[in-house]
Amino acid sequence: MSIPAKEFFVLGEVRHGRIHSVSCELAGKARELADSVGGTVSVVLFCDELRDDPETLVKRGADRVLIVQHPTFALYDQEAEIRSLAHLARRYEPEVLLAPATTSGRTTLPAVAALLETGLTADCTGLEMEPGSGLLLQTRPAIGGNVMATIKTPDRRPQMATVRPRTFRVPPEAERSGRVEYPAPPPSCFQSRVQNIGFERAQEGESDIQDRDVVVSGGKGLKRPETFRLLEELAALLGGGVGASRPVVEAKWIGYSHQVGLSGKVVAPKIYFAVGISGAVQHLAGMQTAGLVVAVNRDPEASIFRVADIGLCGDLFEVLPRLNERLRAEVKGR
Amino acid sequence: MGGGPVLVWKGDGAVEERTERKPMRIAVLIKQVPDSDDVRMDPETGTMVREGVGAIVNPLDLNALQAALDLKNDAPGGAEVTVITMGPPKAHEALRECISMGADGGGLLSDRAFAGSDTWATARALAKAVEKTGPYDLVLAGEKATDGETGQVGPEVAVLLDLPFTTYVVRMELADGTATVRRMVEEGVHIQRLPLPCMITVLHALNEPSMPTLAGKKRARRIDIPVLGASDLSMAPEETGLRGSATRVVRISYPTVSRKADMYDEKSLDQGIERLVELLRDQAVI
């Protein structure tokens, strides 16, 4: 008798008909995990119409793409998604279920975990199969990101985890073969009590700082709200977004959607500028996984320098104009 | 909410028909967390110094509470607000703070059997408490707590109670037995409508929590807050705490601050800027 291969499930994310890149990141990670124990990978998509080719997920590691198409998924419908995903999990009995730690993934997964009576670990930054036991080791930052906790789900299935976008790389495309299937959960799964009324897209420019390659954040050191103009200028030169520390958001110098930190957003851009930010734990927890951190502060003892790669110690009212001027010349020169 | 017309004596023998509204019943789930403003990093080890750190009500839970308090004024029949938490005996303080802000009463789930609960075990106990003290028209909570940062308990409680629910709410309006909400998500604002009873988790932008009042503080000091243990919730020991949890923490590690900054001061600023431009080119940002 052959033992069926262990099934690894990934909840992919489709936004307005497009497959979000986090789906590819997780397909790649699940491939890695499945290969270490001889398992198979299925990516599940809930959508109304799909404008991207699901083959892209096969190239990133999926053996199978399960597409559940229904008009109710034109916008995120948590109740239909939760019921459908729980239905598929009961039918295919995956060992592992991974999902993006986006607003929708973080809404769907806890509910599905509760329905399936199993555990869930949020915002994992490390995932691996434990040699011997074959259990999923789920590592996540705890207590403000200063401690890493490794967590297991020993007895219950599936072993579930969410992962923030950009935690893992999109693997290079590989020539692989896989299939696309259209499972049909029972109609009761789509009888949602939640009614979608509409969606107002954010204006260009106020788009989410979590999706930017460069984030330029300001803190109390800016002294007054008008100083954000210098940061906006720097951000514009680099095609980035503007962030802020909690105190300046609380002082209403800038909107809450810009707040970086434990009580705001967690960002992981290629380049993060912390300008006039001293570096409270609360802020550091929201940016310390950035690729390159540049700190501008007049206090050489500021904690922000301890998590920075480049420290520009000086008066920001002098440093920023000079930096902007230099970058303007650079951008013009090409 | 609602209730049909009732007859009211006007005193002079006349009888007036009036539409009497019952107050809404609202449960707010809160958590006591360490005050992150008090938390400092040990410069040697890069770990968090937790000694002497004060405890506060999780900030987003205060936004949930404020939303409930606003409904006391705005809902046609007013609202009766109950705050519920699970925690050690000291979590009484958190409930008293909520009562001093205007909540009507509270319940504390506290029992040694609850120790070591993961989010699933926590949610099961909270769901039982909501069931036992309910029914409620609305259950509210902050989107996540600043210590655990999982945001899982709210959706788990909702599903265990089979309530329709939504998350990341920055605005909500109640009318005709429904809640219409604006959710702040990655690419914009998502608008949904849910029938009551339902559960909603909220974000900071929803409102500005009010300060405790003097009268509220007096009431909070005197009020009796019932303590519920596992047996009060009809939960067997193996359903609660560590034994009732699906996950196990198997290892804790302390990552040290891994970056070493190249420091430039006013004199070497130009050099620093040139180095930065070089790195920006490497990263293909310029």
Adjacent-strand bridge partners of B263: A311
- Is the pLDDT at B156 greater than 50? The verdict is yes
Mean pLDDT of B56-79: 95
Distance from CA of B128 to the nearest CA of A (A): 14
Mean pLDDT of B148-164: 96
Mean pLDDT for chain B overall: 89
Among left, alpha and beta (phi > 0; psi -120 to 50; other), residue A24 is alpha
Pick the closest to residue A47 from A86, A18, A24 (CA basis).
A18
Compute the distance between CA of residue A278 and CA of residue A269 in angstroms, rounded to an integer: 19
> Per-domain residue ranges for chain A?
7-190, 209-332
Per-residue confidence band for A177, with pLDDT thresholds at 50, 70 and 90: very high
Contact (CB, 8 A) for A249 and A228: no
- Residue A210's pLDDT is 82
Residue B286 falls inside a structural domain: no
Q: How many domains does chain B have?
A: 1
- Residue A207's pLDDT is 61
Measured N-to-C along each axis, helices A105-116 and A78-92 cross at an angle, to the nearest 10 degrees, of 50
B14, two tokens: 């006349």
Write down the pTM of the prediction.
Answer: 0.84
Distance from CA of A128 to the nearest CA of B (A): 14
Mean pLDDT for chain A overall: 92
Residues 6+ apart with CB under 8 A from A197: B180, B191, B192, B193
Give the residue numbers spanning the domain of B27: 22-239
Per-residue confidence band for A288, with pLDDT thresholds at 50, 70 and 90: confident
> Side-chain half-sphere of A297: how many Cα atoms within 13 Å?
27
Q: Does domain A209-332 have CATH number 1.10.1040.10?
A: no
3-state SS assignment for residue B205: helix
- Is the pLDDT at A64 greater than 50? The verdict is yes
Task: Give burial (CB, 10 Å; 0-12/13-18/19+) of B262.
Answer: middle
Distance from CA of B108 to the nearest CA of A (A): 23
Residue of chain B with shortest Cα separation from A86: B159
Query: What residues of chain A lie within 8 A of the CB of B248, using their CB?
Result: 151-154
Mean pLDDT of A193-221: 87
Query: What residues of chain A lie within 8 A of the CB of B36, using their CB?
Result: 144, 262-263, 280-282
- Is the pLDDT at B262 greater than 70? The verdict is yes
> Side-chain half-sphere of B284: how many Cα atoms within 13 Å?
0
A237, A311, A322: residue with CB nearest B262: A311
> Side-chain half-sphere of A136: how many Cα atoms within 13 Å?
34
Residue of chain B with shortest Cα separation from A163: B150
Compute the distance between CA of residue A201 and CA of residue A210 in angstroms, rounded to an integer: 15
- Residue B258's pLDDT is 64
Compute the distance between CA of residue A204 and CA of residue A183 in angstroms, rounded to an integer: 37
Q: For the segment B85-135, what is each residue's pLDDT rounded down to a tens digit?
A: 999 999 999 999 999 999 999 999 999 999 999 999 999 999 999 999 999
Compute the distance between CA of residue B221 and CA of residue A36 in angstroms, rounded to an integer: 58
- Is the pLDDT at A325 greater than 60? The verdict is yes
Which amino acid is located at A74 in the chain?
A: A
Mutation choice for A interface testing from B41, B180, B208, B239 by most A CBs within 10 A:
B41
Which amino acid is located at B169 in the chain?
A: V
Tell which A residues from 166 to 195 touch B, by Cβ distance under 8 Å: 193-195
| A67 vs B: CB within 8 A | no
- Residue A167's pLDDT is 80
- Is the pLDDT at B194 greater than 70? The verdict is yes
Q: For the segment B227-260, what is each residue's pLDDT rounded down to a tens digit?
A: 999 999 999 989 999 999 999 999 888 766 568 8
Per-residue confidence band for B221, with pLDDT thresholds at 50, 70 and 90: very high
- Is the pLDDT at A3 greater than 70? The verdict is no
Compute the distance between CA of residue A277 and CA of residue A49 in angstroms, rounded to an integer: 44
3-state SS assignment for residue B113: helix
A168, two tokens: 């893992």
Percent of chain A past pLDDT 70, that is, above it, reads 96
- Residue A264's pLDDT is 78
Of A49 and A165, the one with more pLDDT: A49
CATH number of the domain within which B137 lies: 3.40.50.620
Residues 6+ apart with CB under 8 A from A146: A281, A285, B41, B46, B47, B48, B254, B255
B214, two tokens: 């003097």
B226, two tokens: 């019932």
The neighbour count for residue A56, using CB atoms within 10 Å, is: 17
Compute the distance between CA of residue A282 and CA of residue A260 in angstroms, rounded to an integer: 9
A224, two tokens: 């007054």
A256, two tokens: 């809450």
CATH superfamily of A7-190: HUPs (3.40.50.620)
- Is the pLDDT at A58 greater than 60? The verdict is yes
Per-residue confidence band for B4, with pLDDT thresholds at 50, 70 and 90: very low
Residue B96 falls inside a structural domain: yes
3-state SS assignment for residue A111: helix
Compute the distance between CA of residue B69 and CA of residue B141 in angstroms, rounded to an integer: 13
The neighbour count for residue A134, using CB atoms within 10 Å, is: 13
Percent of chain B past pLDDT 70, that is, above it, reads 86
Contact (CB, 8 A) for A62 and A72: no
Mean pLDDT of A58-67: 98
Compute the distance between CA of residue B60 and CA of residue B65 in angstroms, rounded to an integer: 9
3-state SS assignment for residue A201: strand
- Residue B3's pLDDT is 42
- Residue A284's pLDDT is 84
DSSP state of A210: G
Compute the distance between CA of residue A235 and CA of residue A221 in angstroms, rounded to an integer: 18
- Residue A266's pLDDT is 79
Pairing of strands B188-195, B178-185: antiparallel
Per-residue confidence band for B275, with pLDDT thresholds at 50, 70 and 90: very high
Q: For the segment A87-144, what is each residue's pLDDT rounded down to a tens digit?
A: 999 999 999 999 999 999 999 999 999 999 999 999 998 999 999 999 999 998 876 5
- Is the pLDDT at B1 greater than 50? The verdict is no
- Residue B285's pLDDT is 80
Helices (H), B59-213: 59-74, 92-101, 119-133, 153-160
B48, two tokens: 């968090």
Residue B257 falls inside a structural domain: no
A211, two tokens: 């999706």
**A7-190 and A209-332 agree in CATH topology:** yes
Residue B45 falls inside a structural domain: yes
- Is the pLDDT at B218 greater than 90? The verdict is yes
| Sheet with A292-297, side-by-side order of all strands | A241-244, A214-218, A271-275, A292-297, A310-313, B262-264
Mean pLDDT of A49-64: 97
Tell which A residues from 29 to 48 touch B, by Cβ distance under 8 Å: none
Candidate from A72-81, B10-19, B102-111 with smallest mean pLDDT:
B10-19
3-state SS assignment for residue B272: helix
- Is the pLDDT at B10 greater than 60? The verdict is no
Distance from CA of A289 to the nearest CA of B (A): 11
Contact (CB, 8 A) for A208 and A240: no
Chains A & B: contacts with CB separation below 8 Å = 266
Q: Which residue has the tokens 């199969």?
A: A129
